[in-house]
Amino acid sequence: MSKMRLATVWLDGCSGCHMSFLDIDERLIAVAERADLVYSPLVDAKTFPEEVDITLVEGAVSSEEDLHKIQMVRQHTKILVSLGDCAVTANVPAMRNPFFTAEVYDRAYRENVTFDPGVPDQVVPRLLPFVRPVHEIVPVDVYVPGCPPSADVIFYVVTELLEGRNPELSAKTRFGA
């Protein structure tokens, strides 16, 4: 049987969900025996592959780059998993939503600056006016709440999906877990 193709993507989050994925520790080796990690911050692929079976998405959609990336990822992914509270609800990143983006930028790049103040506008992607959870932008197949979801929950989700089953999570994790 050919290996499944697994990817992980990091939008606006803290990388805690990726770290919790690594917290499955030596079980990483068992996952690697059944799936190839074809795209992830942990491997060197620079472009998202044409066909991916399962993509775990950490983080909310906050910038123009996040927006383009999640649309592209959805197009090339069979099963899209919102991993963690930021992907599921927009969580901490969305705390900037009550403020204008100009205020958020100004604090960092005009007020808390001693030399050359100004908002970066070359090469870097602009922030969207509001941070959104992934499912408001593209359809999501599996939701895994938690800040972050525990390693055991992530291992359960990945192995169930690799077996072709739908993970049942209601008793296993919760928002803020």
Can residue 18 be called a binding residue for other proteins (CB under 8 A)?
A: yes
Three-class secondary structure of residue 159 per DSSP: helix
**Residue 17 interacting with other proteins (CB under 8 A):** yes
Stretch that binds other proteins, among 60-68, 75-83, 134-142, 160-168 (CB under 8 A): 60-68
| Rounded distance between C-alpha atoms, residue 12 and residue 136, angstroms | 15
Task: Name the packing angle between helices 151-162 and 27-34 (round to 10°).
Answer: 20
144 in Cβ contact with 88 (< 8 Å): yes
Q: Helix, strand or coil for residue 63?
A: strand
CB of 139 to other proteins, least distance (A): 24
Q: Kindly indicate which of the ranges 17-25, 72-80, 133-141, 162-170 contains the residues binding other proteins, using the contact rule CB under 8 A.
A: 17-25
Let me know: does 95 contact 31? Beta carbons within 8 Å.
no
Residues of this chain that interact with other proteins (CB under 8 A) are 10, 12-20, 22-23, 25-26, 28-29, 32, 37, 41-47, 62-63, 65, 92-93, 95-96, 98-99, 103-105, 107-109, 112-125, 127, 147-148, 150-151
